[in-house]
């Protein structure tokens, strides 16, 4: 028993070192100016560098829109799948896993082609305006669409795990026999019990959108991840400081989300 | 206490219900009526369609043909949430995110009853099922029996016209099952609410129900009061499904049946037998007499101690086995292999077509 505990601490320590050493090194690198001691210049610089606030805000807006859209799409779909067509589940699972198989670079090449092809062939139709609108640099909706697809595998898995732990059919039927219509049964009886799953799905989507680089860069937009890479070329210290900061920002956001969701959460087993 | 009884209990009627799931016929023309205020048990082996029938009354299944009537009114097309039927499910169906009180009040909330009103009513109902002190407990903090009580209170909260119980006791352990079934019966009689109770446990059905409907392969075999069902089963299926029944070969003769060397009158209609007059006589174990006798042609195969009685399985001269319940003190001499003679009392017996 004691040996087992020792092993556990050993493994935890090693894993901790693996993550913490590079992090600590990064932090030291950003604050330590050789010969002059500690200096927080690199961090203050970030905020004065143009584009920090706007790119971070853009990323957050994209994340919020993506979470809303992907949940609106997937929650009703998966509940319906459970209740109405359980045999289709493997099909949906495979479809939702496809984005893992298709490399982002191929995905974005496809989107790029469509975006170029669209306006040429649809210039005389109202759809032309649609193509223009979804590429609005202030809020590129096309990125939301791309991120929804990319988030599917994670959202599917998170929701599936949540739905497995509750008896959706019985909950819906119990609610209906208590006089609740279909929408009420879903909102009042099923969704509250999927809270954990919804949070997990939101977490994963948020992390995905905040860190996504390939698609945004190749389509020519500048959310947070792209901005970090862009400024890192000029100043080594600044770029590492930004990376550390972005890590902190992500953590803070995830913790906020967890705190927000966990406050009134009750464990529902039994 | 101000817990109400429904103004008038409802009549429930199934008319020619038919439902197929792919190749399986779940219901094959079911006709059944539950009278106002009575507890009707739907009894049958799994897959006999009893749950399907109940779910049709609840509005969760729809018949391919036939009608469901409540108080003479056709509700076949009415959606589940407007059926006015409270239901208790087999699996624990409480909403895990709500405490007991809010679970009971859920239906009232759907009906837009004010908070104060629904709190009061929910508390009353919890008191009714003996859980007044558990209002603030969440389902995972309650035992299985308590959860089903809360579910019962929830089903009664909207003062439904019909109460539907879908094997509500089958997930509970034996002792809790016994107390809860008495309690359900007490509540049902107190409230005078028409109740349909699905079960595969014949003891449960016979001990609780006013009427028991035995179903088999999507059809109604017999619907009668428990005593009649046990004493005068209408079909061989009912005879063998309800209680224990042994088949002893006999032969139809003028004015009766010859079995075990005795001539006995026939109870009810004798089956129409083609060519031969070979039949089976159906007997309950408590009606079979077994006596140790060295010259007897039957042999004891096994004995099982049941407490007040011993169930003796004997093999007759022709190889068929019959079961007999004997008082424990009489059965002492009957060990496996002992030679015995078997007799039946001089009473009319049930006769069925020979199946083997």
Please indicate whether, in this complex, the C-beta atoms of B92 and A270 are within 8 angstroms of each other: yes
A117-155 per-position pLDDT tens digit: 877 777 777 777 777 778 887 888 989 999 999 999 999
- Give the closest of B60, B138, B157 to A173, CB-based: B60
C-alpha–C-alpha distance, residues B283 and B344, integer Å:
8
Q: Do residues A215 and A143 make contact, with C-beta atoms less than 8 angstroms apart?
A: yes
Residue A28: closest CA among A252, A242, A240: A240
Q: Residue B350: CB partners within 8 Å, gap ≥ 6?
A: B233, B239, B266, B267, B268, B281, B282, B283
Please indicate whether, in this complex, the C-beta atoms of B81 and A267 are within 8 angstroms of each other: no
B296 burial (CB, 10 Å; 0-12 / 13-18 / 19+) is middle
What is the Rg, in whole angstroms, of the alpha carbon atoms belonging to chain B? Answer: 24
| Domain membership flag for residue A232 | no
| Nearest CA-CA distance, residue A153 and chain B, Å | 27
* Residue corresponding to tokens 């038919």: B18
B250-286 per-position pLDDT tens digit: 888 887 888 888 888 888 776 666 556 788 888 989 8
Instruction: Please report the DSSP string for B261-276 in residue order.
Output: TEEEPBSSPPPP--SS
**Count of domains observed in chain A:** 1
Please indicate whether, in this complex, the C-beta atoms of B95 and A184 are within 8 angstroms of each other: no
| Domain membership flag for residue A128 | yes
Task: Judge whether residue A263 has pLDDT over 70.
Answer: no
The answer to whether the complex's ipTM is over 0.90 is: no
| Domain membership flag for residue A204 | yes
Domain ranges of chain B: 12-238, 245-353
Q: What is the mean pLDDT of residues B73-90?
A: 90
C-alpha–C-alpha distance, residues B264 and B255, integer Å:
8
Please indicate whether, in this complex, the C-beta atoms of B106 and A175 are within 8 angstroms of each other: yes
Best residue in B55, B78, B81 for a mutation probing chain A (most A CBs within 10 Å):
B81
| Domain membership flag for residue A46 | no
Which chain B residues are within 8 Å of A195, Cβ to Cβ? 97
pLDDT-derived band at B2, boundaries 50, 70, 90: very low
| Nearest CA-CA distance, residue B95 and chain A, Å | 6
| Domain membership flag for residue A253 | no
- Give the closest of A173, A175, A266 to B138, CB-based: A266
A21: which 2 tokens? 């050493």
> Is A157 in the B-facing interface, judged by CB distances under 8 Å?
no
Please indicate whether, in this complex, the C-beta atoms of A176 and B157 are within 8 angstroms of each other: no
Please indicate whether, in this complex, the C-beta atoms of A193 and B96 are within 8 angstroms of each other: yes
The parent domain of residue A177 ranges over 59-225
B289: which 2 tokens? 């007499």
A90-124 per-position pLDDT tens digit: 999 999 999 988 888 888 899 888 888 877 777 77
| Domain membership flag for residue A195 | yes
Please indicate whether, in this complex, the C-beta atoms of A192 and B60 are within 8 angstroms of each other: no
pLDDT of the residue at B56: 94
| Domain membership flag for residue A88 | yes
C-alpha–C-alpha distance, residues A96 and A156, integer Å:
7
pLDDT of the residue at A153: 94
B111-142 per-position pLDDT tens digit: 888 888 889 999 999 999 999 999 999 999 99
Best residue in B80, B88, B196 for a mutation probing chain A (most A CBs within 10 Å):
B80
| Domain membership flag for residue A209 | yes
Domain at B12-238: CATH code: 3.40.50.300
Q: Report the alpha-carbon angle B125-B129-B130, nearest 5.
A: 110
* Mean of the per-residue pLDDT values of chain B: 88
State the CATH number of the domain containing residue A66.
1.10.3720.10
Sign of CA dihedral B281, B287, B290, B291: negative
Q: Report the alpha-carbon angle A256-A259-A260, nearest 5.
A: 85
């Amino acid at each position: 028993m004691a040996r087992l505990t020792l092993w556990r601490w050993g493994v935890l320590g090693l894993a901790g070192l693996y993550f913490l050493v590079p992090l600590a090194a990064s932090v030291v690198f950003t604050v330590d100016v050789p010969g002059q001691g500690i200096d927080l210049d690199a961090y203050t610089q970030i905020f004065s560098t143009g584009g920090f606030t706007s790119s971070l805000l853009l990323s957050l807006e994209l994340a919020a829109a993506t979470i809303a859209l992907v949940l609106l799409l997937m929650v009703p779909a998966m509940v319906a799948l459970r209740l109405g067509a359980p045999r289709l589940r493997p099909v949906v699972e495979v479809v939702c896993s496809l984005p893992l198989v298709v490399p982002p670079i191929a995905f974005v090449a496809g989107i790029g082609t469509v975006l170029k092809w669209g306006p040429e062939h649809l210039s005389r139709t109202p759809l032309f305006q649609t193509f223009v609108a979804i590429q609005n640099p202030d809020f590129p909706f096309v990125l939301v669409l791309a991120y929804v697809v990319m988030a599917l595998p994670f959202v599917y898995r998170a929701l599936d795990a949540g739905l497995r732990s509750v008896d959706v059919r019985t909950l819906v039927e119990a609610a209906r026999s208590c006089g609740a219509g279909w929408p009420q049964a879903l909102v009042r009886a099923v969704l509250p019990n999927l809270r954990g799953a919804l949070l997990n799905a939101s977490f994963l989507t948020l992390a995905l959108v905040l860190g996504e680089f390939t698609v945004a860069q190749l389509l020519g937009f500048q959310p947070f991840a792209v901005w970090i890479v862009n400024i890192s070329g000029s100043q080594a210290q600044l770029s590492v400081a930004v990376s550390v900061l972005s890590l902190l920002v992500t953590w803070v956001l995830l913790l906020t989300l967890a705190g927000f969701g966990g406050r009134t959460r009750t464990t529902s087993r039994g | 206490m101000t817990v109400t009884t429904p103004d008038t209990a409802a009549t429930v009627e199934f008319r020619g219900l038919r439902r197929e799931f792919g190749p399986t016929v779940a219901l094959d023309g079911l006709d059944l009526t539950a009278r106002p205020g009575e507890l009707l048990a739907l009894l049958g082996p799994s897959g006999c369609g009893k749950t399907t029938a109940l779910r049709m009354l609840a509005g969760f299944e729809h018949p391919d043909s036939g009608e469901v009537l409540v108080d003479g009114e056709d509700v076949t097309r009415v959606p589940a949430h407007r059926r006015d039927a409270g239901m208790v499910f087999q699996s624990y169906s409480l909403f895990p995110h709500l405490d007991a009180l809010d679970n009971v009040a859920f239906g009232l909330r759907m009906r837009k009853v004010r908070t104060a009103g629904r709190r009061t009513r929910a508390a009353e109902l919890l008191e009714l099922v003996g859980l007044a002190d558990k209002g603030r407990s969440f389902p995972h903090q309650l035992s299985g029996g308590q959860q089903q009580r809360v579910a019962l209170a929830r089903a009664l909260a909207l003062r439904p016209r019909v109460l539907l119980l879908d094997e509500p006791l089958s997930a509970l352990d034996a002792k809790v099952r016994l107390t809860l079934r008495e309690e359900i019966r007490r509540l049902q009689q107190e409230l005078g609410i028409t109740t349909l109770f699905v079960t595969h446990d014949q003891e449960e059905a016979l001990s609780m129900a006013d009427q028991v409907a035995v179903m088999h392969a999507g059809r109604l075999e017999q619907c009668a009061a428990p005593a009649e069902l046990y004493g005068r089963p209408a079909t061989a299926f009912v005879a063998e499904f309800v209680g224990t029944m042994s088949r002893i070969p006999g032969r139809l003769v003028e004015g009766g049946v010859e079995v075990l060397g005795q001539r006995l009158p026939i109870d009810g209609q004798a089956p129409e037998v083609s060519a031969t007059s070979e039949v089976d006589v159906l007997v309950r174990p408590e009606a079979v007499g077994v006596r140790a006798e060295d010259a007897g042609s039957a042999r004891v195969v096994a004995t099982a101690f049941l407490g007040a009685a011993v169930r003796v399985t004997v093999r007759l001269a022709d190889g068929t086995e019959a079961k007999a319940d004997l008082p424990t003190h009489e059965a002492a001499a009957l060990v496996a292999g002992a030679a015995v003679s078997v007799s039946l009392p001089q009473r009319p017996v049930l006769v069925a077509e020979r199946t083997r």
